[in-house]
Structure 1
Amino acid sequence: MSVDELVRENHEPKQIRLGPVGWVRWGWRTLTSMKTALILLFLLALGSIPGSLIPQRGVEPDKVALIYQQSPSLAEWYERFQLFEVFTSVWFAAVYLLLFASLVGCIIPRTTTYLRELRRKPPAAPKNLSRLPHSDSFDGDLTTEEAARRLRKLRFRVVTGDGWVAAEKGYLRETGNLFFHIALLGILLAVGFGSLYGYRGNVLVVEGDGFANTVAAYDRFIPGSRVSAESLQPFSFELSDFKVTYQVAGDKKGQELDYSAFLKVHDEPGAPGRDYELKVNEPLEVDGTQTYLLGHGYAPIFKVTDGKGQVAYEGAVACLIDQKATLTSSCAVKVPDAQPSQLGFLLRFLPTSVPLTDGTYASAFPAELQPQVQLIGGYAGDLGMRSGKPQSVYEIIPSELKDKIVPVVRGSFSAKPISVGGSVELPGGAGKLEFTGVKEWITLQTAYDPGRVPALVAAAVAVIAIALSLTIRRRRVWVRVKEGRVDVGGLTRTEGSAAGFTEEFADIVKALSAGEQDVR
């Protein structure tokens, strides 16, 4: 090998290969760094935004259904990215678990360092205290024992030596910092515990109907992995009445002012009923299970007579709200028992119906002042209701059954509406549809979360801990006594707090020189 080749070999940088273990260590150090934890916390907060802006299937299923009805393509994209179920989505859970691991990795070394700091004594006094950021001196006969005693009364941790005293306090700053991280971990643990052992469900209840807290009674039920049907608290209630008030004048005419559901609650089977007024943000609570009032709408009452003159259907039908401002709603009535063929109706409910100049009709106010319904379409044929396949209660014609259904009535928004007590005869003697009255429905969310109280406690601890971490300063004070001369020096171990320590240091010098103890 030539000299040039030898020099080149010795000076060329060698590539370092980490290997499997090295990559694992690098990944763990990156994950548990403070920078990564802050990024994950930011991503968790960022990921919560769509959960607040986009209706969630577990909270507002009616609004999710409305998006599917009005913007199917948009709803498909929302579904693809799990935006209707943000807080149970795969990507949100991934960020959550990574943040959990990052916090654990941060807490373990911080705890070790904190315990080491608690056992460490304040360092000995420097020889020249005048070089410290804060220093002063005075003449007196102060002894090291007396100086140590006075500093202990000022809640300093004190160490004495030959002619010097070292004191330090402000350890609660590190305590607050550590407990803040532990509290964040506690919040994540509480949320995870609540997800495992808690449940929530949604149900729509019409006036006059009841609800029992069983899995079968829910329209949508989301249990934790550790929840069984026997875990549910056995309470029930009936919806006796529902009342709502609206703004009747001004720019905000029609805006809801307040609404309440009046329930007859049975805390357990066989227990006497108790009256309860359920309001927004004032949930019904039974054995830790909370029932929230979410929304409301109308449920017109219809009576359907089939082609053989028999009453095939009679009851209230919950309508899907199309326009929140006026509560204009869409209804679907399915009659599987009609003879000689099944019947289906699409209707439009107008709480306060008024005619418009273009010949159509609209609702002018959300309250039930002039209730009418418009028959948008009537259908006869096989609705597929006996096939065993689930169907939407807001649709009449599944796409695969369009060829088996015959439209018998084709209406529009200009069709003459039907008032309470009115009816429509179907052509060809297919039957009759009667509009007999109006009820209201409410949507409820029932939630049991055993991690709710621990999460609240952890959040309170986090607030107190971060307050301690931000307000308390770590500071050190040294005293040297020699031949009637007392030198005092001090410094802070917290960046940006030197200015605040100036006044405190002056009070410490005053207390040492005069025996006073009025230190902030």
Structure 2
Amino acid sequence: MAGLRWFWTQLTSMRTALILLFILALAAIPGSFIPQRPVNPIRVSDFIADNPGLGEWYERLGLFDVYGSPWFAAVYLLLYTSLVGCIIPRIAVYARAVRTPPPRTPARLDRLPAHAEGVTTASEPDALAAAEQWLRARRFRTRREEGAVAAERGYLREFGNIVFHLSFVLLLGGLAWNTLASYRGEVIVVEGQAFSNNLTQYDDFRAGAAFNPTQLRPFTIFVDAFTASFETGPVQRGAAREFRADVRTADPGAEPQASTIEVNHPLRVDGTNVHLIGHGYAPVITITDPQGNVATSGPVVFLPQDGNFSSLGVVKAPDARPEYLALEGWFLPTAVVDEQGPHSVFPDALVPELFLTVWAGPPREETSAPESVYSINKDDLAQMTTAEGAPVAFRLAPGQIVDLPDGSTVEFSDWRRWVKLQVSSEPGLWLAAVSILLAIAGLGLSLYVRPRRLWVRVADADGTTRVVAGGLDRTDTAQGLGDDVVALARAAGVAELAETPAVTDTGAELFGKQGVG
């Protein structure tokens, strides 16, 4: 038991809490430099492929998921326990201090660093009553004694310290709650299409360990239009000026409501945030096989590769017969062909064109294995060639059709824009934000509230009523202490002071010996 008591005492000391906080900060550093699997699994896979030996050790140490590793959780829980163990006893001590009356008046007030004395014409009861009234008007707690009044204020300083430390507990709790219960998903939606908040609809989805699919609020977002405008003048040509998605949102069985999503102005639906984080182009392409059957038709998402939105993409026609067909190439919103080859010179669709090559092969058996929609598995495919043996490559503008050597046709009928939406729920962020505000408020109280104790004694001696006032300040500065002592003496009726305090020492080291303040 003695060992456990010693361990608990060490763990709940403020020194240990500070050490653990420093260790937690150091432990978080690898998460900023090493790719993290929950955020970017592709970068993690690439890192392991490029550095197999180092990647194996990183995997063993949990460095690819720092914030979800057992050692990080252990430090986090120890810090949380240490802070709670530090704060609860302080709260108990503070509660007793608030209920405890101000400490009794010292026998020799003239020995205090700040003191003043003089003679009053008022009677002893009247002088004490006037002094007590003056103290109460300045928010001092008072204690009436025989021939004296003791007073104290500044309890909010310790309250501020407790609030400041308690805010760290709330902050850690809020971050833990958010990490466990939050989710974030991303989905690309083409103009004219819709997205329903369902796991199967997301292109990418990440969630905490405590996430439950029932947390997903049932709603649908219809993307009616996306507006993008760019600077066309000579200065900052091509710079973004406006990105706006006009959408409609609908709950099950309800009428859709029109809304707008802009950068830094997310849409909030039933406690869920919907951010606009990306956009691009989706050319509308139709592939017809040699029998005249439409193998595929519709908008195809192309991913931008540069600031002028030169976009790379593939079009797959697995239902084409007699051969499987796939197109690969570029969509250029403002196409130019020069010595650099085909490229876009402006991000807006001023001269949109497609530059494609064709791959063909035997029909593939459909399986449940996932396959990327942004790349082609070319294992059993060959590039289609002309009768002369040259690879089939062509250039299309909107409305044009090209005939392929096998009798198939490719039509580029139109283009649309797509938007990338991020749907997220972070239930613990409000608690983290509140804790930060509490920390600022607590720090302000602890810095600007000055604990102070004042005493005044009134006694009849040799036919006169003599007043002695004194004070102590808990802080190391003496601002206003001498003035308060003088004002207290004058409030008791002293017209002329026998001694005016020149405060050079606040008596901070004596403050605790007079009681808890």
Q: TM range, normalised to the smaller chain?
A: 0.7 to 0.9
Query: Which residue of 339, 342, 345 corresponds with 1:361?
Result: 342
Note closer, same or farther for the CA distance 1:435–1:84 as it changes in structure 2 (3 Å cut). farther
Count how many residue pairs are aligned between Structure 1 and Structure 2.
478
1:87-486 counterparts in 2 under 5 A? 93-140=73-120, 141=122, 143-225=127-209, 227-266=211-250, 268-323=251-306, 325-356=307-338, 358-375=339-356, 377-381=357-361, 386-397=366-377, 403-408=379-384, 417-427=395-405, 429=406, 431-482=408-459, 483=461, 484-486=465-467
**Matched residues in 1 for 2:10 and 2:232: separation?**
60
Q: Which runs of 5+ in 2 are unaligned?
A: 387-392, 496-517
C-alpha deviations, 1:317-375, integer Å up to 9, x for none?
Answer: 2222221x21222212222222233233322222212233x241222111111122322
The 1:294–1:161 alpha-carbon spacing in structure 2 relative to 1, beyond 3 Å, is same
Distance 1:500 1:222, change over 3 A: farther
Determine the C-alpha separation between the residues in 2 that align with 1:455 and 1:82.
26
Higher relative contact order (CA 8 A, sep 6+): 2
Question: Alpha-carbon deviation of 1:295?
Answer: 1.6
Distance 1:72 1:348 in 2: 28
1:223-244 Cα offsets, whole Å, 9 max, x none, are 4555544443222121000001
Structure 1: which 5+ runs fail to align? Answer: 1-19, 516-520
Amino acid at match of 2:221: F
Q: Report the residue type matching 1:380 in the other structure.
A: A
Corresponding residue SS for 2:412: strand
List per-residue Cα deviations over 1:281-301 (Å, max 9, x = no partner).
222222222222222122222
State the SS of the aligned residue for 1:252: coil
| Structure-2 separation of matches of 1:125 and 1:231 | 62
Q: Which amino acid in structure 1 is aligned with residue 92 of structure 2? A: T
**CA–CA distance in 2 between the matches of 1:32 and 1:251?**
60
Letter in 1 for 2:416: K
Question: 2-side partners of 1:285 and 1:73: how far apart?
Answer: 41
Change (3 A) 1:83 1:245: farther
Residue pair 1:213, 1:232 contacting (<8 A) in 2 also: yes
Q: Is the 8 A contact 2:134 2:491 kept in 1?
A: yes
SS at match of 1:464: helix
When residues 286 and 396 of structure 1 are mapped into structure 2, their CA distance, relative to the original with a 3 A threshold, is same
Shift of 1:438: 1.5
RMSD across aligned positions (CA)? 3.8
Contact 2:322 2:363 in 1 (8 A): no
SS in 1 for 2:305: strand
CA distance in 2, matches of 1:97, 1:239: 44
Counterpart amino acid of residue 331 in structure 2:
F
Residues 512 and 423 (structure 1), Cα distance of their counterparts in 2 relative to 1, 3 Å cut: farther
Shift of 1:441: 1.2
Q: CA contact under 8 A between 1:202 and 1:445: conserved in structure 2?
A: yes
Aligned to 1:489: 470
2:264 alignment partner, SS class: coil
**CA 1:351/1:101 → structure 2, altered by over 3 Å: closer, same or farther?**
farther
Q: Alpha carbons of 1:200 and 1:85: their partners in 2 closer, same or farther (altered >3 Å)?
A: farther
State the Cα distance separating 1:384 from its structure 2 match: 7.0
Q: Is the 8 A contact 1:212 1:234 kept in 2?
A: yes
> What SS does the aligned partner of 1:211 have?
strand
* Distance (whole Å) between structure 1 residues aligned to residue 62 and residue 305 of structure 2: 24
Quick one: distance in 2 between partners of 1:383 and 1:106? 69
Q: Secondary structure at the match of 2:384?
A: strand
How much has 1:210 moved relative to structure 2? 0.3
CA contact (8 A) 1:66 1:320 kept: no
Q: The residue matched to 1:404 in structure 2 has which SS?
A: coil
- Shift, 1:260, TM fit: 0.8
The 3 A distance-change label for structure 1 pair 84 and 345 is: farther
Paired letter, 1:418: L
Q: Is the 8 A contact 2:310 2:332 kept in 1?
A: yes
- Over 3 Å counting, the alpha-carbon distance change for 1:262 and 1:229 in structure 2 is same
Q: How does 1:502-517 map to 2 (within 5 A)?
A: 502-513=482-493
Using the TM superposition, give the Cα deviation of residue 169 of structure 1 relative to its aligned residue in structure 2, in angstroms: 0.8
SS state at 1:111 partner: helix
CA contact (8 A) 1:344 1:396 kept: yes
Pair 1:87–1:292, CA change in 2 (3 A): farther
- SS in structure 2 of the partner of residue 234 of structure 1: coil
Q: When the two structures are superposed, what TM-score results if normalisation uses the length of structure 1?
A: 0.79
1:17 corresponding residue in structure 2: none
Give the letter aligned to residue 212 of structure 1: S
Q: In the alignment, residue 458 of structure 2 is paired with which amino acid?
A: V
Report the TM-score when normalising by structure 2: 0.79
Q: Which moved more, 1:465-474 or 1:222-231?
A: 222-231
Distance 1:122 1:455, change over 3 A: same
What SS does the aligned partner of 1:97 have? helix
CA distance in 2, matches of 1:331, 1:285: 32
How far apart are the structure 1 equivalents of 2:36 and 2:417? 23
